A and B are shown apart, each in its own frame.
Chain A
């Protein structure tokens, strides 16, 4: 059974606004995931991707792609990651 304080709210604790310090913790926790095990993008490519995302209308809350739900500062580090922009992918490589 799930133990939970009686009638405790389920959802209010999860914010879509993610701070730098939270990002650092999340990055650490992805180390053992499929994403974390992937080949990492070169620094130049990483910065290029971030710059493109920051001009995109799908970039929300300063961190998040609305089309895939990913935290871009983490996703952009994965070499094989792709841009899900439905009109035409924006990441050049």
Chain B
């Protein structure tokens, strides 16, 4: 049994709802088929965007959506994606295997998607192969409500009002596919490009600089030293593989208990990355004005057998649910610095919320974690103190419990808890400091039988949340049992008087 002291009267940082952000790249079947089917499709759609996906994402309360990449962003020329669709030029998406891109899903279509699901757009601009002028024009096109050539062009294309895009990334992975730059060079480019990301409304654009790849601390040092005063956010990318080895990532399903352990150990590395990058940021920005924006994270496994390797399509099991739950708990705990994250990717690519196949759609275990956890959006983090039992595999060990708690604007407390062990259940007792009595309930996501249980088009509800049985409250103590390999969210409504 593990005892957790929850300090309910000490509110820590606010959990920015943007921590629950998503990422949509022109890659595989994420945008085309996953989101965009076109107005002539027999799949029910709104202005070309499939209705089943819209409804699922509305339910999820997606706060912010990153687009058009990723690597694709650095060869995307936005003017190809506006105007009548039949006139839009075709291009080769060379970063993602040479796919022909018809540009039917462009700025207007993306903004419509954001409007339909209630998300803020986060645009990633092209520094790798684009010009300063091109970026300046795009921002003017999207945000200028006054008279100007780009505002007129936008109106001609059917959008009178500006979209007032709040979040703008200046390049993507500039250390890699976005230009293979050194940090010193990119820092100067960032200073130059970001200067022309102009403000056209009272609310200034939140500018996000390209940050480090995983543990490249030198990159963070240089960017913060040279440009922190010109940025609002600095990105970080880290993917979890099944083996911890990039070249051999392991299968999304059919894995062993050893691979289960290795994956969860690999994902826990996110905390070290946050702590060490944050320490560098603290040197230059002690007031934490610059947000750490983890705008690509999630699992990356081998593609599903029999699918095109360039599409990065993978299944999604309870192991992915654990990865999501663990990382979201970490983001909560570091929400004084981590202000936005974007899991990769929203539909059909890597650790997706949704999988589609023709007219069929299925929700993944990761979707259910995001749905269960959304109660933390904009809530205040509470301090939770506990010593986790160890989860051992051979000579290695990691904590068995990952947990975080928050209080929302109604005074309701939510505790999200992950049992990392593939085999052993875990008894948990919450000692709610400052609460005399409470009404409690909970939801749990757990594998029904196999460790790699997942939802397929033939069996879409194999893994779905259910009520957590056996949860009890006695005065200020709440007890429950986490089944092996499970993610749970507990709701605590304090009794008044």
Contacts and interface: CB of A to CB of B under 8 A. Distances in A.
Nearest to A89: B358
A11 B96 contact: yes
A8 B176 contact: yes
A10 B177 contact: yes
B95 A85 contact: no
Contacts of B42: 86-87
**Central interface residue in A3, A11, A35, A87, by most chain B CB within 10 Å:** A11
Contacts of B241: 2
Contacts of A18: 308-309
A15 B306 contact: no
Contact of B305 (A2, A29, A68, A84): A29
Nearest to A27: B306
Contact of B309 (A3, A14, A30, A85): A14
Given A30-B305, A74-B306, A75-B306, A86 B37 contact: yes
Interface string B199-224: 00000000000000111100000000
Q: Interface on chain B toward A: helix, strand, loop, or mixed SS?
A: loop
A34 B457 CA distance: 14
Interface stretch (B28-36, B109-117, B145-153, B396-404): B28-36
A39 to B, nearest CB: 15
Of the four ranges (under 10, 10 to 19, 20 to 34, 35 or more), the interface on chain A belongs to 35 or more
A2 to B, nearest CB: 5
Contacts of B32: 66
A4 B214 contact: yes
Contacts of A15: 97-98, 309-310
A6 B183 CA distance: 13
B238 A7 contact: no
Contact of B97 (A10, A16, A75): A16
Nearest to B219: A7
A33 B214 CA distance: 32
A33 B305 contact: yes
Nearest to B238: A2
Interface in B103-161: none
A69 B213 contact: no
A33 B255 CA distance: 11
Interface string A26-42: 10011011111000000
A1 interface: yes
Contacts of B70: 11
A12 interface: yes
B96 A86 contact: no
A53 interface: no
Interface in A29-73: 29-30, 32-36, 61, 63-64, 66-71
Interface of A: 1-4, 6-12, 14-18, 26, 29-30, 32-36, 61, 63-64, 66-71, 74-75, 83-87
7 contacts: A3-B246, A6-B213, A7-B216, A9-B176, A10-B176, A29-B305, A71-B306
